[in-house]
Amino acid sequence: MQESAINLAVQLIISANPDLFEIIGLSLRVSLSSVVLSLVFGLSLGAFLATDHFRGRQLINVLINALMSMPPVVVGLFVYLAISRSGPLGWLGLLYTPTAMIIAQTMLITPLVAALSRQVIEDLYNEYREQFLSLQLTRPQRMKALLWDARYSLLTVALAGLGRALSEVGAVIIVGGNIEHLTRVMTTAIALETSKGDLALALALGLILLSLALLINILLSSLNISARRQAYA
């Protein structure tokens, strides 16, 4: 089985199977968009929480940490109820579109990015705090400086987010519907082939997804290493 799956995976790639490339493309589009959006929201939130000690901050931290382990299916269901045609946002017509999948994955990943980046930024802020006080930086100035100086650690946070996005199936299958040529991505295709009993194809798709993740990680970590060599980290 494993051997035939590897053969099949290689065959699919060599033959440049258009369906395969379509779902890989959509997977990347959805996951990368969600990660970018999650970074916008999550990093802002993480930097905000790291740079002040307001009342209730600890509660929010605990809450966000808990949200990190939110099951994708629950997020999917939540988004489905909101954007279903009978839901409060139904008029937007977003259900069963890539946009819906991006919204769901963004909600899934934002807590992860926020929690991890808060920790990274807080550690750095402990080092910078007195200097920043002395310089009398405003809150946005502090956040901006910390985000920039923590950029290489935050790249790892982004990768963690991308990993969760690329591997997630529960949320996208509910709000995307796994519609062929429209919302079918790698993970939902794997789920589908498994349910059709085509385990070899499912495994082959899994191997391709894994290679894709590996490729992205190699790409980004080589960027990371060459930058660290310049020792800005």
Partner 1 sequence: MKIFSCTSLLLLIVTLFSSVVVADSKQILVQSTTSTANSGFYKYLLPMFETQTGIKVNVVAVGTGQAIRNARNCDADVLLVHAKAAEDAFVADGFGVERFDLMYNDFVIIGPAGDPANVSKQSDIHNALKNISTVNALFASRGDNSGTHKKEQSLWHAININTEAVKPSWYRSTGSGMGATINTAIGLGAYTLTDRATWISFKNKDDFKIQFQGDPKLFNQYGVTLVNPEKCPSVSQHSAQQFIDWLLSKKTQQSIAAFAVDGEQLFYPNAK
Partner 2 sequence: MHNVIDINANKPVVGTTRLPTKAQPSRRSKLELNNISYSVNGKRILQNIKLNLPPQGITAIMGFNGAGKSILLKIMHGILKPTTGTVLWNQQPSDAKHRLTQSMVFQKPVLLRRSAKANIDFVIKQRGTHKPALRNALLVKVGLANKASQPARLLSGGEQQRLALARALACQPDIVFLDEATASLDPASSAIIEQIVSDEAALGTKFIMVTHDAAQAARIADEVVFMDAGQITEYASAEQFFNAPISQAATAYLEGRLHHQ
Q: Give the footprint of partner 1 on this chain (CB under 8 A).
A: 33, 36-37, 40, 84-87, 90, 93-99, 102, 140, 144, 177-180, 182, 192, 194-201
Q: Which of 66, 135, 179, 218 binds partner 2 (CB under 8 A)?
A: 135
Residue pair 150/124 in contact (Cβ under 8 Å)? The answer is yes
Smallest distance from the beta carbon of 130 to partner 2, in angstroms? 6
Question: 136 contacts which partner out of partner 2, partner 1, none, CB within 5 to 8 A by kind?
Answer: partner 2
- Residues in 155-214 at the binding interface with partner 2, rule: CB under 8 A: none
Q: Does 226 bind partner 2 (CB under 8 A)?
A: no
Q: What is the CA radius of gyration of the chain?
A: 20
Rounded CA gap, 78 and 89, in Å?
Answer: 12
The residue type of 141 is Q
Helix (H) or strand (E) holding 82: helix 72-83
Q: Does 21 bind partner 2 (CB under 8 A)?
A: no
Region binding partner 2 by CB under 8 A among candidate stretches 137-145, 166-174, 178-186, 217-225: 137-145
Q: Does 141 bind partner 2 (CB under 8 A)?
A: yes
Instruction: Name the 3-class secondary structure at 168.
Output: coil
Place of tokens 């490339």: 21
What is the DSSP-derived secondary structure letter of residue 84? S
Q: Does 231 bind partner 2 (CB under 8 A)?
A: yes
Rounded CA gap, 181 and 219, in Å?
Answer: 28
Give the other-Cβ count within 10 Å of 108's Cβ.
27
Question: 156 contacts which partner out of partner 1, partner 2, none, CB within 5 to 8 A by kind?
Answer: none
What is the DSSP-derived secondary structure letter of residue 69? T
Total residues contacting partner 2 by CB under 8 A comes to 18
Q: Give contact residues for partner 2 (rule: CB under 8 A).
A: 127-128, 130-131, 133-137, 141, 145, 148-150, 230-233
